[in-house]
Amino acid sequence: MKMKFIFQNRDLTSKILHSNIRIRAVAKHVRMSSTKARRVAHLLRNSTYIQALVILTFMDYRACEPIYKVLVSAAENAYSFMGIHKCYLAVLAAEVNEGPILKRFRPRARGRGYPIQKSTCHISITLFYDTSLDFCNSGHGDISGHGDITERDITDFYL
């Protein structure tokens, strides 16, 4: 699975001053049906980063793992390249598009071949920076007991 980080505008000083900062991470050629991954990605829209982590951690679908990796990658890119803390991030868009189809043949009786189509998908998640969000220090959903929610509190449950 290849992941790619995409900046929409490269002018970082104007991005920090304005609240229209968008960070996008893409995973291409994920070996999964796009409809199955779309079912999970649809639940992440219009949620904060912490809420999206909780949703993906406790859902029991195979599509949660690659979507979780893309979400964490987008947040890490926002933190490492722009210095934006993860508590101020929210999911703007979670898109799953169809990728190329891998065509294989299965041997059948009497020397015949039966075509098998293995589908792939491209997962892209767009996060945006919002200064009105401060989910880590607001006291919502106190998991750790001391008021601050860290990513480790949530990801300990994820295998």
Q: Read off the pLDDT of residues 80-90 as tens digits, 9 standing for 90 and up.
A: 988 888 888 99
Contacts of 87 (CB under 8 A, 6+ apart): 49, 50, 133, 134, 135, 136, 137
- Does the residue 46 lie in any domain? yes
CA-to-CA distance for 105 and 56, rounded, in angstroms?
34
pLDDT of residue 14 exceeding 50, the answer is no
- Does the residue 39 lie in any domain? yes
- Does the residue 89 lie in any domain? yes
Q: Which of 95, 121, 3, 91 is nearest to 40 (CA)?
A: 95
Number of domains in the chain: 1
Q: Can you list the alpha helix ranges (DSSP code H) found in 42-133?
A: 49-58, 64-82
pTM for the full predicted model? 0.75
- Does the residue 91 lie in any domain? yes
Structural domain of residue 68, as residue ranges?
20-27+34-97+123-130
**Tokens 């491209």 correspond to what residue?**
122
